[in-house]
Structures are given as C-alpha cells and as structure tokens.
Structure 1
Amino acid sequence: MRFIDEVYNLYKGHFNGSEEDIVAIVVGILAEQSREDLLRLVSDMEEEELFQMLATYMIEVMKRKVAMEDELSPSPQVH
C-alpha cells in the first residue's frame, strides 16, 4: 500500500523494533485523518490489501472478545 510505504519511509529512523513505537505512530497518524481521508485510503486498496486488513481486524477483535469472556468466566478449579 502506497500510504504505508510513505509512512514507513517518513518514520523509518524512528522505529527501534518496539511494537509500542509502531502503534504510537500509526495511531497518531490515523487520529489526524478525517473519515473521508480514511475511506479514501480504503478505496485505494487492492482487493488483497482490503482482505488482509479486514481479516487482521476481525481476528484481533475476536481474540479480545475471547480474552474478555475468559476473564469474566471463572475457570473450573481442579482438585
């Protein structure tokens, strides 16, 4: 995706391999975008990129839901 390539090239000297750095930069950039800007980015994606984005999003949301359910449900104690 061209946008990701541009962001990477702009910030590549700022990444130290920490996921937190990447998250902070991405969240900061996305927070500055309007809904229209975000929709334009999505509309410019190739089909495979769109699929990967949605699959990644759905997988992460499902993982969080399962983790939240696991936290709320007491696990059976084994004696």
Structure 2
Amino acid sequence: MRFIDEVYKLYKGHFNGDEEDITAIVVGILAEQSRDDLLDLVEEMDEEELFHMLATYMIEVMKRKVAMDDEQSPTTMMH
C-alpha cells in the first residue's frame, strides 16, 4: 500500500522495533484523517490488502471479545 510505504519512509528512523512506537505513530496518523480520507485509503487497496486488513481486524476483535468473556466468567472447578 502506497500510504504505508510513505509513512514508513517518513518515520523510518523513529522505529526501534518496539510495537508500542509503531502503534503510537499509526494511531496518531489515523486520528488526523477524516472518514473520507480513511475510505480513500481503503479504495486504493487491492483485493489482497483489503482481505488482510479485514482479517487482521476481525481476528483482533475476536481475541478481545474472548479475553473479555474470560475475565467476566467465574472459573469453575470440575471434579
């Protein structure tokens, strides 16, 4: 994706391999975009990029839901 390539070039020296740094930069950039800007980015994606983006998003959301359910469910012991 061209947008990611541009962001990477712009911030290349700021990444130290720490996921938190990458997350902070990406979230900061996306927060500055309008809904239309974000939809334009999606429009530029090819089918594989779109599939990967949605799959990654859905997997992460499902993981969070499972984790929340695990936190809310009392543990039961079976004898």
For Structure 1 versus Structure 2, the TM-score category normalised by the shorter chain is over 0.9
Gapped runs of 5+ residues in structure 1?
none
2:66 alignment counterpart? 66
TM-score normalised by structure 2 residue count: 0.96
Aligned-partner residue type, residue 61 of structure 2: V
2:8 alignment counterpart? 8
Counting matched residue pairs gives: 79
* Match runs of 1:1-79 below 5 Å: 1-77=1-77
- Superposed displacement of residue 77, structure 1: 3.2
CA distance in 1, matches of 2:67, 2:24: 23
Q: Which runs of 4+ in 1 moved over 3 A?
A: none
Gapped runs of 5+ residues in structure 2?
none
CA distance in 1, matches of 2:20, 2:63: 19
TM-score normalised by structure 1 residue count: 0.96
Bigger relative contact order, structure 1 or 2 (CA pairs below 8 A, ≥6 apart): 2
